[in-house]
Amino acid sequence: MTHAARSRFGFIAGAGALVLIGLSGCGGGGPPAFPPPTVNVAAVVKKSVTEWDDFSGRIEAVESIELRPRATGYLAAVHFRDGAEVHKGDLLFTIDDREYRAAADNARANLARADTRVEVAGTALSRTETLAGVGAASVEELEQRRGEAKQAKADRDAAASQLRQAELSLSFTRVTAPIDGRIGKAEVRPGNLVTAGSTLLSTLVSIDPVYVAFEGNERAYLRYQALAREGSRPSSRDARNPVRVGLASEAGYPHQGEMVFVDNQLDPSTGTIRARALLSNKDRVFTPGLFARVQLVGGQVRESLFVHERAILTDQDRKYVYVIGPNNSTLRKDVELGAAVDGLRLIAKGLSEGDLVVVNGTRKIFAAGQPVTPVRVPMDQPEFQPPPAAAAKQ
């Protein structure tokens, strides 16, 4: 052995001796034992809940109107602010009414002439009837006067009808709001020619209430039909089943509504059926076109188990939780999830009443079977830190 090799061997031997001395000084040859990690656990919550199904929908106006003129002419004025809320009967547009007013005046004059002719014909008829009574007028003359009186009355009726038509056409030069609602922008400005029944002046949508429209898939529709036949849940065609609605910026489903429509057929191209619910909009929260999250009551009230979202872990496409087993060891249980209710997640399958679920500290668990030190906390407070004395009692 060379001198360099002997030196390296001596160094390694010395280092090994020092390690052995250090280990013997620590009291043994094994690594130091670490205490089990502390985790927060909570008992599975059991409560009665109503089952809800989730859908995506859009807010729609109950009434949506395209305002078009019923008279042709030049637009004289716009009487609203674009996007303003208006009420039924409010004046929105006026069309130059000079031609229509002149036509109404002419029809009124024709009616006055017709009234005069009726009066003259009536007087002549009355005089002829008197003369015929004493033999001073022939039967032919009397019949002629009667015919003239009838003709004058018919002419008066025609003139009155023409006046009504002229006044109606004149009224069409004033475009008023047919409903309460919010108007869009004026599509035509004063000075432009508008054509009766053709030119779009603006749009008007109702505000309160509103619809939320959504589509359900074929499987959900068949399940609802089965529940209706069993008597467990009435059909939304026959009953105003409750719905809950939340907008994109809102947490949960703060708005309540009721079903008012289910279509009479499914769309074969999408396999869905269209439905609609009615919502109050007194606070003007909803605007037609907004996206909405919709929950429709899906079944009867039943007892269900719930855990906090923090307890649920993911392994590829599987969901699971850790529960406390014998000797405070951890057990993995795969679960099937249901809807979220009041901050907790419904567990459709996988857990039993009385299970203690790890709700905080799952990162400290490296594998099932690992022992832990459980600390009981409320299920809705996974990060709760109980006082040291209370934790020690557990």
Domain count of the chain?
2
CATH number for position 149: 1.10.287
Cis peptide before 209 (omega within 30 of 0): yes
Q: Spell out the alpha helix ranges (H) of 192-351.
A: 218-230
**Helix %, strand %, coil % for the chain, to 5?**
30, 35, 35
Counts for the chain of helices (H) and strands (E), in that order: 5, 21
45 and 104 together in one domain: no
Average of per-residue pLDDT across 167-173: 95
Of 172, 203, 223, the domain-final residue: 172
Domain assignment present for residue 147? The answer is: yes
Local confidence band at 152 (pLDDT 50, 70, 90 cut-offs): very high
pLDDT in tens, 79-102: 999 999 999 999 999 999 999 999
Residue type, 19: V
Query: What order of strands is seen across the sheet that includes strand 174-176?
Result: 174-176, 91-95, 73-78, 193-194
Of 114, 141, 172, the domain-final residue: 172
Domain assignment present for residue 152? The answer is: yes
23 phi and psi angles, rounded to 5 deg: -65, -40
Mean pLDDT, the chain, as a whole number? 87
H/E element holding 216? Answer: strand 210-217
For 352, half-sphere exposure in the C-beta direction (CA atoms, 13 angstrom radius) is 4
306 and 387 together in one domain: yes
- Structural domain containing residue 311: 38-49+302-393
Dist CA 187 CA 28 (whole Å): 91
Dist CA 23 CA 20 (whole Å): 5
Per-residue confidence (pLDDT) for residue 6, from 0 to 100 = 45
Taking the complete model, does pTM exceed 0.75, yes or no?
Answer: no
Local confidence band at 7 (pLDDT 50, 70, 90 cut-offs): very low
Domain assignment present for residue 206? The answer is: no
